[in-house]
Amino acid sequence: MALLLPLLLVFVAFATLCYSSPAGFTEGAGVLPDGLNAAVGETVMFNTTLTPTEKPFQSVNWNVNFSTTIIVVINSEESIGPEYEGRITFFTSTASLELRSLTLGDTGEYSVNIVQDGKIQHGRTILVIYEKVSNVSVTSSSTDLVEFNGSVSLSCSASGSSLSFLWLNGSSEVTASDRVQLTDGGSSLTIINVTRSDQGPFRCHVSNPVSTGTSDPVNLSISYGPENINLILSPSQGYFAVGSDISLTCSVGSRPPAQFKWFLNGDQLPDPGSELRLMNVNMSQSGNYSCQAFNSKTLRSQTSQPSDITVLGKSSSVKPSTNLPIEGTSVSLTCEASGSVFTRNWMKDGSDLTPTDNMILSDNNRVLTFNTVNRKDNGEYFCQISNPVSSDGAKYVMTVNYGPENVEIKGPNKINIKGTLKLTCSAESTPTARFTWFLNGTEILTNSAEYIKEEVEFSDSGNYTCQAWNNITERTSSSVVHGLTVTDQPSGCAAGCIAGIVIACCVIFAAAVGGGYYIYKKK
Ligand SMILES: *[C@@H]1O[C@H](CO)[C@@H](O)[C@H](O)[C@H]1NC(C)=O
Ligand SMILES: *[C@@H]1O[C@H](CO)[C@@H](O)[C@H](O)[C@H]1NC(C)=O
Ligand SMILES: *[C@@H]1O[C@H](CO)[C@@H](O)[C@H](O)[C@H]1NC(C)=O
Ligand SMILES: *[C@@H]1O[C@H](CO)[C@@H](O)[C@H](O)[C@H]1NC(C)=O
Ligand SMILES: *[C@@H]1O[C@H](CO)[C@@H](O)[C@H](O)[C@H]1NC(C)=O
Ligand SMILES: *[C@@H]1O[C@H](CO)[C@@H](O)[C@H](O)[C@H]1NC(C)=O
Ligand SMILES: *[C@@H]1O[C@H](CO)[C@@H](O)[C@H](O)[C@H]1NC(C)=O
Ligand SMILES: *[C@@H]1O[C@H](CO)[C@@H](O)[C@H](O)[C@H]1NC(C)=O
Ligand SMILES: *[C@@H]1O[C@H](CO)[C@@H](O)[C@H](O)[C@H]1NC(C)=O
Ligand SMILES: *[C@@H]1O[C@H](CO)[C@@H](O)[C@H](O)[C@H]1NC(C)=O
Ligand SMILES: *[C@@H]1O[C@H](CO)[C@@H](O)[C@H](O)[C@H]1NC(C)=O
Ligand SMILES: *[C@@H]1O[C@H](CO)[C@@H](O)[C@H](O)[C@H]1NC(C)=O
């Protein structure tokens, strides 16, 4: 046995030399599998394809790089190479070998020669040791970007050997294009002219034959806009009644969210925010509203088309040019309506107004002018106003002031002394005239239509004059003269009176007798 061992060693060495020639052999030839990969620190198993056997092999020789012996087993006696003490386990039933605590230096071509029943079997394989992928991380030149304004570089770093890089954009692989460059063996990703769709998340996937690693996702924040600005009115109409609540909303595409400014007819309003609420609107709030969006990152802004809002008044009125129209003067009636009015129609005393020569309608029926107003123009004038939110109207009752005219004095021209005198003066006038009385040119009474004098004297004879005055037209009538004579008839019963009574009695008696005779004759 002791003799046999050196002999076998010589044989094995010979066989090793023979097989070391690459001719006719490829990697993984014989009883060993194709190339093996393993990671630093791990364990590799060189399994032979031999059927397990109880019977020990005559000899087994494991070596690496055809130079360094790992283990030689002759008739169950193992001798292990010094570098491999404690790192290997030999499996006697299959001649397989386990190698532990791998280092990068363990890379090499491993071969085994086995003598069994006088037959030599051979195996060869290449083991490559890799450092595992670790610490995969991505750094970005910037994560805060503006669309269409620059490029960004993402760089992937990782520990490990023989690394391959792959970039993921969301779940799909990034491929190079005009815009997208992959450099430094794929570890650098450059996006030229970033767009909003480049937000990622980007991950770097690193691999080698023994492991893989993926970075944490990196999100790019890409600012864009404002764009597609739109001003929306709610309710969506242009005309609103006074007191309405209106909401204006400015919608815009922008990241980060835009800041808003509001304008009315080009003047900035103090209200911020994307919504402008106009509560209980009045007419002064009519006008062109627009909104402007500003993006503080892109430093770009956009202004909406103006939205024309018209606040229409509900109240209307008819205003005369004077409160006291005077006949013969010019008077105009103005149909006022707050806000925009679309149609105006005039009516008089309930029927459509038929303008006479004396009337002029102007300013789209807003103003009704009487060149010289006449009392025939008295009546109720109604101006009907229509606009998209209401139909409304206002009336005015016209009373034309005129006079005084046709002054008349009624009363006796003769009166007995001690009788009661009553004179009445009248005149056509609006408003009612005031009267002043004169006797023989001397004022005797003012402010009364009637002049009454009890127990007249002779001195009450004379020329009575009445003058009428209209405090609106400020006209005074021409005087009318009424002559009065006080006659000499007693009011107590003097001689003449008694004679009169006697005559009267005789007449009554005669009448009574005559009347009785007549009745008798008829019977
Ligand atoms: C080698 O054989 C062992 C035991 O039979 C088995 O557990 C292991 O998976 C095998 N390894 C390879 C690389 O085939
Ligand atoms: C085998 O040879 C290669 C290159 O010649 C060397 O890098 C490797 O370390 C060697 N392997 C061993 C186990 O000596
Ligand atoms: C991975 O990174 C950590 C800390 O950043 C470091 O301590 C460790 O050594 C790194 N590992 C490798 C394999 O480079
Ligand atoms: C960036 O891309 C947009 C459209 O994708 C293009 O309109 C613009 O001109 C580009 N800018 C530059 C600097 O290339
Ligand atoms: C990322 O994916 C989006 C679609 O999800 C695509 O539009 C964009 O161009 C991609 N960007 C890069 C740099 O691959
Ligand atoms: C990146 O974006 C995704 C969605 O696109 C989100 O779920 C994730 O939380 C973001 N990550 C970071 C760090 O912002
Ligand atoms: C109209 O409303 C605005 C805003 O509420 C207010 O400032 C203004 O004084 C109002 N104008 C009138 C005439 O009421
Ligand atoms: C609003 O703008 C329109 C045209 O855009 C113009 O015709 C109208 O007069 C404007 N209104 C006001 C109140 O400025
Ligand atoms: C766009 O890019 C130019 C040049 O890189 C830079 O000066 C400018 O500030 C950028 N604009 C914005 C809004 O970031
Ligand atoms: C008015 O004139 C008449 C006639 O001349 C005269 O009789 C009368 O006394 C006069 N009356 C007064 C109050 O002067
Ligand atoms: C009264 O009027 C008559 C005629 O109008 C006139 O002749 C007469 O002189 C007048 N009498 C007085 C006292 O004025
Ligand atoms: C005119 O006189 C009437 C009474 O006749 C009075 O009510 C009114 O106030 C007066 N008007 C003026 C303007 O003096």
CA atoms in the 13 A half-sphere facing the CB of 64: 16
Q: In this structure, what CATH number is given to the domain that contains residue 346?
A: 2.60.40.10
Residue 495 is assigned to a structural domain of this protein: no
Residues 147 and 86 in one domain: no
Among 398, 417, 447, the domain-final residue is 398
Does residue 436 form part of some domain? yes
Examine residue 291 and state whether it is found in any structural domain, yes or no: yes
Q: Which helix (H) or strand (E) holds 16?
A: helix 4-20
The answer on 188 and 101 residing in a single domain is no
Pocket of ligand 1 (CB under 6 A): 45, 47
Cβ–ligand 2 distance for 83 under 6 Å, the answer no
Give nearest CA residue, ligand 4 atom 11: 148
On whether both 328 and 443 belong to a single domain, the answer is no
Q: How far is the CA of 251 from the centre of ligand 5 (A)?
A: 26
Which residue bears the tokens 């020990």?
56
What 3 state SS string does 114-181 have? EEECCEEEEEEEEEEEECCCEEEEEEECCCEEECCCCCEEEEEEEECCCCEEEEEECCEECCCCCCEE
Q: Which tokens is 510 given?
A: 């005669």
483 shares its domain with 415: yes
The answer to whether the predicted template modeling score (pTM) of the entire model surpasses 0.75 is no
Q: Note whether 106 and 18 are same-domain residues.
A: yes
Q: How far apart are CA 263 and CA 305, in angstroms?
A: 11
The answer on 96 and 116 residing in a single domain is yes
Cite the beta strand spans of 411-461 per DSSP E.
414-416, 421-430, 434-439, 442-446, 450-453
- Closest residue by Cα to atom 6, ligand 5, is 197
In a domain, 508, yes or no: no
Last residue within a domain, chosen from 358, 381, 398: 398
Which is the closest atom of ligand 1 to the Cα of 47? 1
- From the CB of 193, is ligand 4 less than 6 Å away? yes
161-170 residues labelled b (16+ CB within 10 A) or e (exposed): bebebbbbbe
**Is residue 511, in this structure, part of any structural domain at all?**
no
Q: Is 150 in the pocket of ligand 9 (CB under 6 A)?
A: yes
Is the separation of the CB atoms in 400 and 378 below 8 Å? yes
Domain assignment present for residue 427? The answer is yes
**For 50, which DSSP code?**
P
Q: What is the DSSP string of 485-497?
A: EEE---SS--HHH
**Alpha carbon nearest to ligand 10 atom 9, residue:** 459
203-236 tens-digit pLDDT: 999 999 999 999 999 999 999 999 999 999 999 8
- Shared-domain flag, residues 10 and 120: yes
Cα 289 to middle of ligand 7, angstroms: 16
| Terminal Cα distance for the chain, rounded | 207
Residue 237 CA to ligand 7 centre (angstroms): 21
Answer yes or no: do 160 and 189 share one domain. yes
The answer on 433 and 389 residing in a single domain is: no
- What's the number of domains the chain is made of? 5
**Nearest atom (ligand 3) to Cα of 160:** 13
Question: What distance in angstroms lies between residue 484's CA and the mean position of ligand 10's atoms?
Answer: 10
Cβ atoms of 377 and 398 closer than 8 Å: yes
Is 222 strand, coil or helix? strand
Reported as type and span, the H/E element at residue 18 is helix 4-20
Are 120 and 153 found together in one domain?
Answer: no
pLDDT tens track for 392-441: 788 999 999 999 999 999 999 999 999 999 999 999 999 999 999 999 99
Distance from Cα 149 to the centre of ligand 9, integer Å: 6
CA dist., res. 272 & res. 270, Å (int): 6
Contact partners, residue 482, CB within 8 Å, separation at least 6? 409, 411, 413, 423, 463, 464, 465, 466
Does any domain span residue 344? yes
Residues contacting residue 221 through CB under 8 Å, at least 6 positions apart: 143, 144, 145, 199, 255
Residues 195 and 110 in one domain: no
What average pLDDT is seen over the chain? 87
Quick: pLDDT tens for 231-259.
999 998 888 888 899 999 999 999 999 99
Q: How far is the CA of 230 from the centre of ligand 7 (A)?
A: 26
Residue-number span of the structural domain to which 254 is assigned: 223-312
Which ligand approaches the C-alpha of residue 83 most closely? 2
Which tokens in the block code for residue 320?
A: 């005369």
Domain match, 408 and 386 both: no
Of the residues 331, 365, 398, which one is the last residue of a structural domain? 398
Residue 502 lies in a domain: no
Per-position pLDDT tens, the chain of length 523: 344 444 444 444 444 444 443 433 334 568 999 899 999 999 999 999 999 988 889 999 999 999 999 999 998 899 999 999 999 999 999 999 999 999 999 999 999 999 988 899 999 999 999 999 999 999 999 988 999 998 999 999 999 999 999 999 999 999 999 999 999 999 999 999 999 999 989 999 999 999 999 999 999 999 999 999 999 999 988 888 888 999 999 999 999 999 999 999 999 999 999 999 999 998 899 999 999 999 999 999 999 999 999 888 767 789 999 999 999 999 999 998 866 667 899 999 999 999 999 999 999 999 999 999 999 999 999 999 887 767 778 899 999 999 999 999 999 999 999 999 999 999 999 999 999 999 999 999 999 999 999 999 999 999 999 999 999 999 999 889 999 999 986 544 544 444 555 455 545 555 555 555 555 555 5
Are residues 97 and 70 in contact, defined by beta-carbon separation less than 8 angstroms?
Answer: yes
Q: Is the CB of 299 within 6 Å of ligand 9?
A: yes
Q: How far is the CA of 411 from the centre of ligand 11 (A)?
A: 18
